[in-house]
Amino acid sequence: MSAIAVVGTGAVGASVAAWLIAAPDHDVTLCARTPFDTLRVETPDGVLESQPRILTDPAAAQPVDWVLVVTKTYDASGAQRWLDHLIGPDTNVAILQNGVEHRSRFPGIDPARIVPVIVDIPAERRAPGDVVQRRSGSLTVPNDPAGTAFAALFAHSPIDTILTDDWQSAAWRKLAINCAGAVNALTLQPSGIARDAEAAELMRALIRECIAVGRAEGATLPDDLPDSIVEGYRNSPPDSINSIHADRLAGRPTEADARNGVIARLGARHGIDAPLNRMADVVLRKATSR
Ligand SMILES: NC(=O)c1ccc[n+]([C@@H]2O[C@H](COP(=O)([O-])OP(=O)(O)OC[C@H]3O[C@@H](n4cnc5c(N)ncnc54)[C@H](OP(=O)(O)O)[C@@H]3O)[C@@H](O)[C@H]2O)c1
């Protein structure tokens, strides 16, 4: 029996929580900002519905075996308030968020306890506790004992857990895809904008900056990544909207710092300028600040 707390019960948090609750041997607590009674997730394998244990006050939380942090990157300080109560001597902490800073985003936690997780589970929230999970998707973790133990939590579920010997390169490849998405968020145009030659060249230039910084950080990234990513955008449904674009449309904060700003910030450590990603971060943050 594993005691598991899920901090953040939005699109991805609700999806993974529903699958964990469905397992016979997990004791799951949801740590939510906005409470709800029924957790209902439409998955490709059917509807998962439950009345989970939900806490809304971090002070009421007790140490568990596993904490899964599934807030947006910009809500890390709110998640930290939960972690202060949920972490005991043997707790592992999985961070299911975008970007490449899963460990440094939580400086108060021993990095050895943290399992960084690359999320590829497309999901949308319709209302608190009411989520549509579009694909079974995957969670990618380092191929080490903690990553293996994390993967075992999902052994009963259709979510694919991928153990990789080079997590850093996988995270930077995902970041390269995500950083190009700034073109959609800035122009408020869906994926089809990548079929426009000027927009495609801007995406490639953002990705080239990402590759230069990622390589300096130790990631292995192929030379043809800009072309293959733009090709991927061109082959996706022309009306599909990425999450940073959706956040901007909804007037929510965006993860621009974790998707673009990070490239400029980490680049500065290596003397690599990344002006396009810096511009994307600044403009998106200013455009969505209130
Ligand atoms: N959705 C996807 O398809 C997808 C795919 C790949 C990766 N990701 C990544 O996965 C991460 C999570 O994304 P998401 O789409 O699940 O975001 P989301 O739907 O916005 O959910 C985030 C959840 O965190 C909650 N939260 C924020 N501060 C909190 C606090 N202090 N205590 C407790 N809960 C708190 C929010 O509460 P409220 O209910 O009050 O808003 C919300 O329920 C992000 O880094 C995202 O980029 C998402």
Q: How confident is the prediction for the chain on average, in pLDDT?
A: 96
Separation of CA 270 and ligand 1 centre (Å):
31
Instruction: Give per-residue pLDDT as tens, 213-241.
Output: 999 999 999 999 999 999 999 999 999 99
Mean pLDDT of 106-127: 96
Supply the residues annotated as catalytic. Answer: 174
To test the pocket of ligand 1, the residue of 6, 7, 9, 12 to mutate (highest count of ligand atoms within 8 Å of its CB) is 12
Residue 43 has what pLDDT?
97
The atom number, within ligand 1, closest to the CA of 120 reads 6
Q: What is the pLDDT of residues 156-206, one digit of tens each?
A: 999 999 999 999 999 999 999 999 999 999 999 999 999 999 999 999 999
Q: Is the pLDDT of residue 72 over 90?
A: yes
Q: How far is the CA of 224 from the centre of ligand 1 (A)?
A: 32
Q: Whose CA is nearest to atom 25 of ligand 1?
A: 8
Any atom of ligand 1 within 6 Å of the Cβ of 184: no
Instruction: Report CA(123)–ligand 1 centroid distance (Å).
Output: 10
Q: What is the pLDDT of residues 249-277, one digit of tens each?
A: 998 999 999 999 999 999 999 999 999 99
pLDDT bucket at 289, cuts 50 / 70 / 90: confident
pLDDT beyond 80 at 290: no
264 alpha carbon to ligand 1 midpoint, in Å? Answer: 24
> What would be the CATH architecture of the domain defined by 168-288?
Orthogonal Bundle (1.10)
Please tell me if the CB atom of residue 78 comes closer than 6 angstroms to any atom of ligand 1.
Answer: yes
Domain boundaries, given as residue ranges, for the chain = 2-164, 168-288
How far is the C-alpha of 18 from the C-alpha of 59, rounded, in Å? 24
Which CATH code is given to the segment(s) 2-164? 3.40.50.720
For residue 119 and ligand 1, the question of a CB distance below 6 A is answered with: yes
